[in-house]
Amino acid sequence: MHPGKAAVSVDTIMQESEKFQAHYAREKGGKPLPWHHAEPNRFLDPITETRDKPGTALDLGCGSGVDSVHLAELGWRVTSLDFMQQALDMTLERAREAGVTVQPVLADVTEWDNDSPFDLLLDSGLLHNMSRDKIAGYRDRILRWLQPDGDFVLAHWESRSDSDRLRGGARRASRSQLVEFFAPELIECRFERLEAEGLPERVGPDLSVGFYWFRRS
Ligand SMILES: C[S@@+](CC[C@H](N)C(=O)[O-])C[C@H]1O[C@@H](n2cnc3c(N)ncnc32)[C@H](O)[C@@H]1O
């Protein structure tokens, strides 16, 4: 099962790593990363509050490290994974400025091997950019890397109207598609939706961002 119908997507004409190389090259030239968010993911604080103490966290596709560094500041032992060296450099610099440490991993998420499961997995914007042939491998890894009582946080684009199907950018998936994709092993325990604004014309004005908090069933 694929989480989402494809919009007319740059995925179809460009390998995913090339797309990110272009974004990071523009960032080096002074243009902010298009997905930049100053605030950390909304579920990180509530999840931390449910636990006696923070444990281990894996930030999948950490980007510039806003979420990784926030988790480290909350006391989590954070592994920050990205297949772009520049992302890890930005994350390490952010961590240094904040006076915390994170463990960087330069790897494709579907190729990295790791034997120690994590208490928290976070994916803010990786899955919806992933090519379809890798999605099954991604799901296998999420299930393998998540502790039995672990939390999995996902942020994924969602269409708001039919016109959105003609737009570019990352893949859209509905809430029911994503819940089905991770079932039966994971269940959604919290969901929130953000109506995104101010996106470029080529991406379109219609989309929403779904924020998911999954746990093992
Ligand atoms: C949309 S950005 C989001 C970055 C960050 N999570 C955030 O919220 O700001 C997606 C990130 O995932 C990384 N990425 C995409 N596909 C990946 C893969 N298959 N393996 C590892 N990293 C990947 C990209 O390099 C990029 O930094």
Instruction: Band the pLDDT of 9: cuts 50, 70, 90.
Output: very low
Domain membership flag for residue 180? yes
CATH of the domain at 179: 3.40.50.150
CB 209 within 8 A of CB 191: no
Domain membership flag for residue 3? no
Domain membership flag for residue 129? yes
170 touches ligand 1 (CB under 6 Å): no
- How far is residue 46's CA from residue 41's CA, in Å, rounded to a whole number? 10
Structural domain range at position 117: 41-161+171-216
Q: What count of other Cβ atoms lies within 10 Å of the Cβ of residue 26?
A: 13
Q: Which residue has the higher pLDDT, 77 or 3?
A: 77
CB 73 within 8 A of CB 100: yes
Q: 185 C-alpha to center of ligand 1: Å?
A: 24
What confidence score (pLDDT) does residue 16 get?
Answer: 73
How confident is the model over 60-116, as pLDDT tens digits? Answer: 999 999 999 999 999 999 999 999 999 999 999 999 999 999 999 999 999 999 989
Give the chain's length. 217
What is the SS3 assignment for 153? strand
66 touches ligand 1 (CB under 6 Å): yes
Residue nearest atom 4 of ligand 1, based on CA coordinates: 63
Domain total for the chain? 1
Q: 165 C-alpha to center of ligand 1: Å?
A: 23
Domain membership flag for residue 35? no
Domain membership flag for residue 157? yes
Domain membership flag for residue 95? yes
Domain membership flag for residue 36? no
What does the mean pLDDT of the chain come to? 89
CB 82 within 8 A of CB 64: no
138 touches ligand 1 (CB under 6 Å): no
